[in-house]
Amino acid sequence: MIILKNDNDINNKNIIHTKLRRNNLDKCEWLNKNVPDDIKVSDTIQNNFLAFDDKKLIGGAIGFVQYNWYFLDLLYIDKEYRNKNIGTKLIRAIEEYAKKENLTGVRMETWNFQARGFYEKMGYTVWAEIKDCPPGTIDYYLKKELK
């Protein structure tokens, strides 16, 4: 049974952060050569939504509120749990939280080898992109206004 819960435990944040960083390092040559995989998430990040299979942490969305927007910083689902609507449920949980808090919207960034299409299916639009950030990669900025 998949359970979603709002969880701000720094250890769980670091698990999701490390898994996503390793995934990104595997898929982007420049990151693999230039970025360490052991950077920890700051204690200041708040409003996290985590997914568990019973007690096993299988994914999560790490983010924070700033400027009346929810900034989705990290979204990661373990490979064997992908394509099971967990990411969709996490995004919906974030949006419900943002609406409850009367936030303007949700924003995030994603690289061209990550989840742009997923976010666009969820109603997000690209409002900016940066080419070669990191080199050989496109960094997309997406948003969804909720008001």
- Average pLDDT per run of 10 along the chain, which is 147 residues long? 81 85 87 72 69 94 90 95 96 96 95 96 98 96 95
- At 90 the pLDDT is 97
- Integer-rounded Cα Rg, in Å, for the chain is 15
Report d(CA 121, CA 124) in Å as an integer. 7
Q: Which residues contact 121 (CB under 8 A, 6 or more apart)?
A: none
CA angle 127, 129, 130 (to 5 degrees): 155
- At 119 the pLDDT is 97
Q: Is 8 left (phi over 0), alpha (psi -120 to 50) or beta?
A: alpha
- At 42 the pLDDT is 57
| HSE value, Cβ hemisphere, 13 Å, CA-based, for 115 | 21
pTM: 0.79
For the chain, how many structural domains are there in total? 1
Helix (H) or strand (E) holding 56: strand 56-66
Assign residue 114 the CATH number of its domain.
Answer: 3.40.630.30
- At 128 the pLDDT is 98
- At 40 the pLDDT is 59
- At 106 the pLDDT is 98
Domain that includes residue 132, residue range: 2-145
Report d(CA 74, CA 109) in Å as an integer. 9
